[in-house]
Structure 1
Amino acid sequence: MKTTSFWRAGHTPTLFAAFFYFDLSFMVWVLLGPLAVQISNDLGLTAAQKGLMVATPLLAGALLRIVMGVLVDHLKPKKAGFIGQVMVIATLAWAWLGQLRHYENMLILGILLGFAGAAFAVALPLASRWYPPEHQGTALGIAGAGNSGTAFAALFAPSLALMFGWQQVFGLCLIPLGVALLVYVVFAKDAPSAPPPKSLVEYLHVLKDKDAWWFMFFYSVTFGGFSGLASSLAIYFNGQYGLSPVNAGYFTAACVFAGSLVRPLGGILADRMGGIRTLSLMYLLAGLFLFIASLGMQSYVGALAVFVLAMLALGTGNGAVFQLVPQRFRKEIGVMTGLVGMAGGVGGFYLASSLGYSKQVTGSYQLGLTIFAALAVAALVGLLSVRARWRTTWGSAAMTTARI
């Protein structure tokens, strides 16, 4: 398969507009994580409160992905994305100009930031509908590399908060979000072959298919691990090793960049090696590195290395999952993106909140990391249990040109 065939197969301006929209939306979605140390110092939050604060946008984004998935199929991706971006910009304006002096205010903000996380349910169908089955992994890997926006939040937010105050960071984010909205409006285009919209009852029919639940579980581990760590690592490096908020942000950014940049690689590997084989290997590696991290490294450099390796495995796994989903549910890609994305957000909420509670109750993060490592192993076992059935039914050579 030549690289040029991919670039001729779809609509490149839409692909990169989807990536840019996704990228900056995710930057905003996890913003409370890199700012958590400074916010906590000002508001006097406990470890559990910090964990819940940074986890709230993940859960809100998860639930709102269902809403956006429905809007994508009924209004088409471009219009749904426009509505979502306007909501995010309004939320940032409120956060910038409002009075965020209480823990409850931060939870409300976290819920509203969920609209940014729901961008996932728009960007992926927007890109997916332009590409044939054999290029789904690559296309969705590129669009999904918008995960890298979480690294920009970790890289710049703590420094900007130090210079201008953490509340001013929300106002500064309005600038790149405005640029992203303009790029999206000008360059994004709906695919001409979009499936007709379904009734709300028909969306529920998808949940009767056990494969839908498998995909939701698989993504709750890969993306849940990625987003949960992206939101929590600044707190972890600050609390575990005493790093300053800025340095903790730099370390978090390194981990998140690793997980983000390999998402296209995960899609490409899945296109060439098969999604099941790629994802199986990634679960094995993710479980191993998360378990090592749970033991507690003596130095922050060692912890950084282990978390980078874990994020590499999780990010590659994210790309592999979304090589498989469009093969199985191509006609329902809008609602399945919403459902699978929701599960990923729920996984992230669980990991981020459990790390905070683990720290408060036991004095360390070990329990939270150990349980999530076990979930990666459980996902591997589940994937191996459906492998034969998938490869002999919808994933057979008679049904698709893609490698499953």
Structure 2
Amino acid sequence: MNAGKSFWRSGHIGSLFSAFLYFDMSFMVWVLLGPLAVIIAGDFQLDASQKATLVALPTLGGSILRLVLGYLTDKIGPKLTAQIGMVLTLVPLVWGWQFADSREEMYMIALLLGIAGASFAAALPLASSWYPPQYQGLALGIAGAGNSGTIFSTLFANRIAQHYGDWHVVFGLAMIPIAVTWIVFTLLARNSPNRPAPKRWSDYARVLKLRDCWLFCALYGVTFGGFVGMSTYLTIFFNTQYGLSAVRAADFTTLCVIGGSFFRPIGGWLADKLGGIRMLMGLYGLIAILMACISTLPGISLVTGLLFVAMMCLGMGNGSVFQLVPQRFRNEIGLVTGIVGAAGGLGGYFLPKVLGNMKFYTGSFTPGFLILSGVALVCVVLLFVVQGQWKRTWIGDGGKVKASAPGSDGAPVAEAI
């Protein structure tokens, strides 16, 4: 109880809530094409590969733009960066609502929806900068739980499209929560007085020379990329593999997404308590097993259960990775968050492409899920190899951060590559 009270008193609640809300509504918009893809694909006669491209492009756009928003966060602060991001998010929504009538336009809209996905680069630093090292996992887990916005898309997007008989309306209605969020964010969010000084482009180059930065990119590319990729593609998977209607397929996706959405804070909290390395190795190992089981394409009830647990592991993995990142790169948190977040987005781009292209070329989802299982196993091996050096330098046994961790002041303790 005392620990809980200490956490709430150690930072700024208004900024933490604002970061969560901004992330939540942005995530809702970012993955909007996931559930709608089944309906849109019917209008434009998209094949399996083209459907995968449509739902993957917002993630690619988010990956690119996170670097831009990460730089802006360092330069002008996370609050103003977030406000600008929300205004720009309205552009693809207006386009999709009023003007989209071709496959090429939908591809452009999909890329621009990445503006919403770039919210990571402002939301997480806003929350992180207010909290001390011992609460980073929990603070970032709470802010990062905004990925629950996916649930609003999967649960309501196809229902709204079905009710109005037009999927364009969904884009128009999505503008309302973004506008409300902008107002709430403007009133409640505050930049931390402890925010690090702005970084130069040379600082990006310096950070990119560090092996740990690339390792975090790989780890987050699997956990966050896996969550986003699954969130955007599962409606297509359930529709194609099991013949479910657009609404029903999105409902099953919602059940799976709930696991990843609400277990991210738990992942951060457990990583604070048990250690990030132990958490991540266990989670990646379990993900590998689950993906191998899913590759057998069992009945819909069993595959939904397996996917729920897999999404839960991916969500906890997100929190666990970001429990370690701020400790290693405390003074470069905005910069590194943008880089690592971009890598996570790239993972979310490739996952639908892997599943969609394997389905297109082989006629089955089995090879795609087996590839994903192998990628998770590679992460276990990577952690096994680097854990010794991490424990000797900036973390204690099992991944708990040392009280005087060298990495917490931004010092380059990792080997350059």
TM bucket, shorter chain: over 0.9
State the match for 2:194 in structure 1: 193
Equivalent residue runs for 1:242-281 within 5 Å? 242-281=243-282
Residue by residue over 1:115-169, the C-alpha shift from the partner in whole angstroms, topping out at 9 and shown as x without a partner, is: 0000011110000000000000000000000011112110110101111211110
State the match for 1:39 in structure 2: 40
CA distance in 2, matches of 1:186, 1:94: 28
Letter in 2 for 1:286: I
State the match for 1:215 in structure 2: 216
Structure 2 unaligned runs (5+)? 397-401, 409-417
Residue by residue over 1:222-280, the C-alpha shift from the partner in whole angstroms, topping out at 9 and shown as x without a partner, is: 01110100000000000000111101111111111110100000000011111111111
C-alpha displacement at 1:201, in angstroms? 1.6
**Would the aligned equivalents of 1:133 and 1:401 in 2 still touch at CA under 8 Å?**
no
CA distance in 2, matches of 1:259, 1:402: 29
**Would the aligned equivalents of 1:393 and 1:399 in 2 still touch at CA under 8 Å?**
no
State the match for 2:333 in structure 1: 333
**Would the aligned equivalents of 1:137 and 1:319 in 2 still touch at CA under 8 Å?**
yes
C-alpha displacement at 1:307, in angstroms? 0.3
**Would the aligned equivalents of 1:155 and 1:249 in 2 still touch at CA under 8 Å?**
yes
State the match for 2:405 in structure 1: 400
C-alpha displacement at 1:398, in angstroms? 5.3
For the residue of structure 2 that corresponds to 1:173, the secondary structure is: helix
CA distance in 2, matches of 1:65, 1:390: 27
Structure 1 unaligned runs (5+)? none
CA distance in 2, matches of 1:24, 1:195: 27
Equivalent residue runs for 1:356-375 within 5 Å? 356-375=356-375
Are 2:27 and 1:26 aligned? yes
Equivalent residue runs for 1:316-331 within 5 Å? 316-331=316-331
Are 2:346 and 1:346 aligned? yes
For the residue of structure 2 that corresponds to 1:395, the secondary structure is: coil
State the match for 1:91 in structure 2: 92
State the match for 2:151 in structure 1: 151
C-alpha displacement at 1:101, in angstroms? 2.0
State the match for 1:169 in structure 2: 170
CA RMSD of aligned residues (A): 1.3
Residue by residue over 1:55-83, the C-alpha shift from the partner in whole angstroms, topping out at 9 and shown as x without a partner, is: 00011101111111100000100011111
C-alpha displacement at 1:200, in angstroms? 1.1
**Would the aligned equivalents of 2:51 and 2:356 in 1 still touch at CA under 8 Å?**
yes
C-alpha displacement at 1:203, in angstroms? 1.5
Structure 1 consecutive aligned stretches of length 4 or more whose deviation exceeds 4 Å: none
C-alpha displacement at 1:97, in angstroms? 1.2
State the match for 2:142 in structure 1: 142
C-alpha displacement at 1:402, in angstroms? 11
**Would the aligned equivalents of 1:38 and 1:245 in 2 still touch at CA under 8 Å?**
yes
State the match for 2:180 in structure 1: 179
> Mean Cα displacement is larger for which, 197-206 or 139-148?
197-206
Residue by residue over 1:262-311, the C-alpha shift from the partner in whole angstroms, topping out at 9 and shown as x without a partner, is: 000000001111111111111111111111111111x2111110100100
State the match for 1:64 in structure 2: 65
**Would the aligned equivalents of 1:133 and 1:400 in 2 still touch at CA under 8 Å?**
no
Letter in 2 for 1:129: S
**Would the aligned equivalents of 1:17 and 1:183 in 2 still touch at CA under 8 Å?**
yes
CA distance in 2, matches of 1:347, 1:358: 16
CA distance in 1, matches of 2:249, 2:222: 24
C-alpha displacement at 1:349, in angstroms? 0.5
**Would the aligned equivalents of 2:57 and 2:107 in 1 still touch at CA under 8 Å?**
yes
* Number of positions where the alignment pairs a residue of Structure 1 with one of Structure 2: 401
State the match for 2:414 in structure 1: none
CA distance in 2, matches of 1:185, 1:398: 35
**Would the aligned equivalents of 2:329 and 2:407 in 1 still touch at CA under 8 Å?**
no
Letter in 2 for 1:278: M
Residue by residue over 1:94-125, the C-alpha shift from the partner in whole angstroms, topping out at 9 and shown as x without a partner, is: 21111x22211111001100000000111100
Letter in 2 for 1:336: V
**Would the aligned equivalents of 1:271 and 1:402 in 2 still touch at CA under 8 Å?**
no
Q: With structure 2 as the length reference, what TM-score do the two structures score?
A: 0.94
**Would the aligned equivalents of 1:51 and 1:353 in 2 still touch at CA under 8 Å?**
yes
